[in-house]
């Protein structure tokens, strides 16, 4: 009788989902990732907005923090409700307000931030494309930290694999799986951050409003589609049209919008520095 094949696996590290606990106050890794991402993004955005041609003042950058925070939270939560669990929240719509139960969708957060950005720029008399170019250049900071928080929480794990670095996640069964959260942190966070930082610092790119926004949408769309090939799809959704996941399907409109923004930026005359 042949012995069963045992796949190589790495045990998931025992990481407490609570990052900081002081008495009854507990700050979880996911919340800490949001806070750190917004603070670091604000710090860097203030410097990028001051690059010539100046897109906004530092005071305006400070004011936008509140707008973008609301856009991320409201858009991310609404996107999760509509894209990932519509049937559940139809029967219990009040639970859509239970943010402490988790459940955020990046694509919904993008829509929320775009709405907040357009509204803010209209009130402040700013060019939304020029302003957006500087803002999106810092978004990968939050993406990187968010994926690390997903890993720390032992959630959104990858598909079953036989690679040497396969990992057994709590609640995901005994099979080793891709640590897809780390793959996505590398692609959506680190790689995209480096790309956008290079682009936004090129004067010839900054005078073509919308170019960096388009690069962000294209870069994220490609990174997310690649990452989804290793990530286990949501159990209640599974594989959808042509074997694609929800994350891949939602990334297709981002690719189209990104290509349009790049085309628009290239075909319009550059602004004066």
pLDDT score recorded for residue 11: 82
pLDDT digits (tens, 9 = 90+) for 91-125: 655 555 555 555 677 777 888 899 999 999 999 99
- Give the position of tokens 């990452």: 227
Contact between residue 145 and residue 36 where contact means Cβ atoms under 8 Å apart: yes
The yes-or-no verdict on residue 63 having pLDDT over 80 is: yes
pLDDT score recorded for residue 92: 56
What is the distance between the alpha carbons of residues 236 and 12, in angstroms, rounded to a whole number?
Answer: 24
pLDDT digits (tens, 9 = 90+) for 154-212: 989 999 999 999 999 998 999 999 999 999 999 999 999 999 999 999 999 999 999 99
The yes-or-no verdict on residue 5 having pLDDT over 70 is: no
Which of 24-33, 56-65, 92-101, 198-207 has the least mean pLDDT? 92-101
What percentage of residues in the chain have a pLDDT greater than 90? 64
Which of 26-35, 135-144, 151-160 has the least mean pLDDT? 26-35
What is the distance between the alpha carbons of residues 216 and 210, in angstroms, rounded to a whole number?
Answer: 10
The ranges assigned to domains in the chain are 22-267
pLDDT band at 3 (very low <50, low <70, confident <90, very high): very low
Question: What 3 state SS string does the chain have?
Answer: CCCCCCCCCEECCCCCCEEEEECCEEEEHHHHHHHHHHHHHHHHHHHHHCCCCCCCCHHHHHHHHHHHHHHHHHHHHHHHHHHCCHHHHHHCHHHHHCHHHCCCCHHHHHHHHHHHHHHHHHHHCCCHHHHHHHHHCCHHHHHHHHHHHHHHCCCCCECECCCCCCEECCCCCCCCECCHHHHHHHHHHHHHHHHHHHHHCCHHHHCCCCHHHHHHHHHHHHHHHHHHCCECCCCCCCCCHHHCCHHHHHHHHHHHHHHHHHHHHHHCCCCCC
pLDDT digits (tens, 9 = 90+) for 233-250: 977 778 888 889 989 999
More confident residue, 237 or 61: 61
Taking alpha carbons only, the member of 205, 74, 63, 90 closest to residue 137 is 205
Q: How many CB atoms lie within 10 A of CB 33?
A: 23
């Amino acid at each position: 009788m042949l012995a069963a094949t045992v796949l190589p696996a790495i045990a998931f590290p025992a990481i407490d989902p609570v990052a900081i606990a002081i008495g009854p106050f507990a700050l979880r890794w996911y919340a800490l990732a949001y806070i750190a991402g917004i603070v670091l993004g604000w710090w860097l955005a203030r410097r990028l907005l001051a690059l010539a041609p100046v897109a906004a003042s530092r005071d305006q950058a400070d004011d936008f923090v509140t707008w973008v925070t609301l856009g991320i939270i409201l858009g991310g939560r609404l996107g999760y409700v509509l894209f990932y669990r519509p049937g559940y929240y139809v029967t219990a719509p009040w639970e859509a307000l239970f943010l402490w139960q988790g459940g955020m969708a990046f694509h919904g957060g993008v829509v929320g931030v775009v709405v907040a950005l357009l509204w803010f720029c209209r009130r402040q008399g700013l060019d939304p494309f020029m302003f957006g170019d500087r803002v999106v250049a810092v978004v990968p900071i939050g993406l990187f930290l968010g994926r690390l928080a997903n890993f720390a929480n032992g959630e959104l794990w990858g598909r079953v694999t036989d690679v040497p670095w396969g990992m057994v996640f709590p609640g995901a069964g005994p099979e080793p799986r891709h640590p897809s959260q780390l793959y996505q942190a590398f692609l959506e966070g680190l790689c995209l951050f480096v790309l956008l930082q290079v682009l936004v610092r090129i004067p010839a790119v900054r005078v073509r409003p919308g170019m960096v926004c388009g690069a962000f949408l294209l870069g994220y769309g490609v990174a997310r589609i690649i990452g989804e090939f290793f990530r286990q799809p949501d159990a209640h959704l599974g594989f959808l049209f042509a074997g694609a996941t929800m994350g891949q399907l939602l990334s297709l409109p981002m690719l189209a919008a990104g290509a349009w923004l790049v085309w628009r930026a290239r075909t319009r005359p550059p602004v004066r520095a």
